[in-house]
Chain A
Amino acid sequence: MAIGIKKVARPRRMSMGETLYLLEIVKGLGVTMGHLLRNIVRQENIPTIEYPEVRRVMPPRFRGLHRLMKRPDGSPRCVACFCCSTACPAVCITIVAGESPDPKVEKYPVRFDIDMLRCIFCGLCVEACPCDAIRMDTGWFTPPENTREKLIYTIDMLLEK
């Protein structure tokens, strides 16, 4: 391959007025003042979202906090099959199964804890669930808490969401 000469575009030499900077500084001041005045007059156009009061509307497929679904009679739809906890790459789901009083259902979860500190929001638990008992469609991201214990969600909290 022949060696060619490639012309690299160099920045244009600054003109006399630009090297003095003063006019350019005044122009820059004009830009910032324009932003300031525009934002004072039309405050609603500022893109900031005032977070705790106003929440960003998440897209419908956003994977947020989990929730457990209920049957029409109010009992959890989960049958404690351990599919979600097996699929979970972060090992954050703890299930303790118990025998269900309903003769048509074999098992039910006595405990169903999700450690939100470990959860990576991958959504594999939702895909693994054979009976659509766990969903991640709440649209919430993990809220801040004071202690670690509060971020281990129990079955009651998950059913309420």
Chain B
Amino acid sequence: MSGLFDLAVAVARIAIMLIFCLTFVVVLTWAERKGAAYMQDRRGPNRAKILGLTLGGIFHPLADAIKFLFKEDFIPDHVHRLFYQMAPMFALAPALMTIAVIPFGPPVTIAGKTIPLQIADLNVGILYVFAMSGLTVYGVILAGWASNSKYPLLGGLRSSAQMISYEVSLGLSIIGVVMVFRSVKLSQIVASQGELLWGIVPQWGVVVQPLGFILFLVALYAEANRTPFDLPEGESEIVAGFHTEYGSFKFSMFMMAEYFHLVVGSLLVATLFFGGWQFPYLASSGFVLPGGFSIGLPGAVVLLLRIGALFAKVVFFAWLFIWVRWTIPRFRYDQVMRLGWKVMLPLSLLNIFATGIALLLVA
């Protein structure tokens, strides 16, 4: 009975997280197109109709999906057939796997059992995230190489160089957070961010690690291949980069992987630097304000507020990804490399050093 209960809980958690992320990906594609249109004084998608309703073009992702599913699954003659077909899977799978360690709510107690709202509370937490995000580059390189044509290869090469350089600063920018919260377990990091700093400010990662936050955000944009670092698919230079030779559902898998990275990235920023599911000044019994005031709230409301807080943060950061994309032009390739190695890397090392000194002085 107990085993069955555990199984049901595990399946439910995976289902909730996966359905949330996939739905969010679908909505994001719409938000990207519509947001881009309005920022550029256009109208954006507004044609797909269901029962005469367009609802601001919200049905366009559905139409896209149907189109991708029913298109011919074309494989060009000159490609490496096995790797060509593996590449989209390699792009999508690591992104999907990363969500496993992200806590989306506080532990809840059902029928006398404490259930962490997290698919797997791994003790290596952040390391697992980096292991998975390191794998995503394989999808891009495989796609670029297996396509056996010049622009995809250039895109794949660019992306491998870029991802490897930014992976370094991405990892180093996190070390400050790990040092402050003394854990690599994401559930532990989120729990620590509920405490107050000097009794006033919530001890969020962005408060204790402002430089780390900026470095992480920039490196994340480069990792997710989003503008201003979307060199692997620079349309104006190399057609579409690594997915030039892809069509139908394989192309849509690359697109899904890109947006999934965006969701996972937003989840990670929220978890590491913005308190994850922590709502400011909300303890498990209700609001506790610094002046000594407190407002009691039932447990269910607290739980919903906390999950809602994470959701709001994720929506904001996902929107920030889109917002930045339609604001900043693409970097030149040498500028990307210079930023990665000559600015980001020294700054992230400096951040670790400064954090170490600060911790030594405080303790």
Contact = CB atoms under 8 A, between A and B. Distances in A.
B41 A46 contact: yes
Contacts of A22: 214
Given A25-B324, A28-B328, A29-B324, A35 B42 contact: no
B320 to A, nearest CB: 8
Interface string A1-39: 000000000000000000000100100110111011001
Nearest to B214: A22
Contacts of B324: 25, 29
Given A22-B214, A48-B43, A50-B43, A29 B38 contact: no
Nearest to A48: B43
Given A22-B214, A50-B43, A35 B38 contact: yes
Contact of B326 (A32, A39, A50): A32
Interface residues of B, number: 13
Q: DSSP majority for the A interface?
A: helix
B323 to A, nearest CB: 6
Contacts of A50: 43
A47 to B, nearest CB: 6
Contact of B40 (A25, A29, A35, A43): A35
B149 interface: no
Contacts, number: 36
A47 B37 CA distance: 12
A40 interface: yes
Contacts of B39: 32-33, 35-36, 39
B294 interface: no
Interface string A104-140: 0000000000000000000000000000000000000
B327 interface: yes
B327 A31 contact: yes
Nearest to A26: B327
Interface of B: 35, 38-43, 214, 323-324, 326-328
Interface of A: 22, 25, 28-29, 31-33, 35-36, 39-40, 43, 46-48, 50
| Interchain residue pairs A-B with the least CB separation, the first 8 | A39-B38, A32-B39, A28-B327, A36-B38, A32-B327, A48-B43, A36-B39, A35-B39
